[in-house]
Amino acid sequence: MQLRLAGITPESVVDGPGVRFTIFAQGCKHQCSGCHNPATHSFKAGKMFEIEEIIEQIKEKALITGVTFSGGDPFFQAAEFAQLGQQIKELDQKLDIITYTGFLYEELIQDQEKLSLVKVTDVLIDGLFEEAKQDLSLNYRGSSNQRVIDVKKSLRTDKIVKVKL
Ligand code: SF4
């Protein structure tokens, strides 16, 4: 199975706590005003990667503490990122997965394919980037409307449980 990616940062310290292997999905339809990453919007640009190829790269990074799915928006390739997430967990349960999305949690759990990606995610940072709510003091998110969600607890309790990173 292949994913269309804008790129990979193998050791990032800005996409969540610790040292993270960050994977940038190529393709996004949300059109947030003030988006910092417009080059990731096209579904024709970027490069195709085999999941196995990405897993091999992750194996080489002994120092990483987690993996971040960013974009673009990974939920436009939900089945593919869900498969990648499963293989990351099979490789090492201790690697936590943070996923960024412009969709809302409530929307994602209504769709089986998107739900499959939610389920392999530990922390979901959801919601559109809103320029008027931009706040540079926020950790790991661009605007104050975006929520940092503990996915496992939210799925278990059937309500949104936020977490501080
Ligand atoms: S979801 Fe992210 S990549 Fe997509 S338009 Fe909004 S800020 Fe840009």
| Per-residue pLDDT band at 31 (split at 50, 70, 90) | very high
CA-nearest residue, atom 7 of ligand 1: 35
Q: How far is CA 116 from CA 26, 42, 86, 120, 155, in A?
A: 19, 24, 10, 7, 12
CA-to-CA separations, 57 to 1, 52, 117, in angstroms, rounded: 16, 9, 21
Q: How confident is the model at residue 41 (pLDDT cuts 50, 70, 90)?
A: very high
pLDDT at residue number 54: 98
- Does any ligand 1 atom lie closer than 6 A to the CB of residue 39? no
pLDDT in tens, 57-97: 999 999 999 999 999 999 999 999 999 999 999 999 999 99
What's the CA gap between 81 and 95, in Å, rounded?
Answer: 15
Cis status, amide bond into 72, omega within 30 of 0: yes
- Specify the pLDDT at position 60: 97
Nearest alpha carbon, ligand 1 atom 2:
72
Would you state the CATH architecture of domain 2-157?
Alpha-Beta Barrel (3.20)
Q: Is 74 in the pocket of ligand 1 (CB under 6 A)?
A: no
Residues 95-140 pLDDT 10s: 999 999 999 999 999 999 999 999 999 999 999 999 999 999 999 9
Residue 149's pLDDT band, with cuts at 50, 70 and 90, is: very high
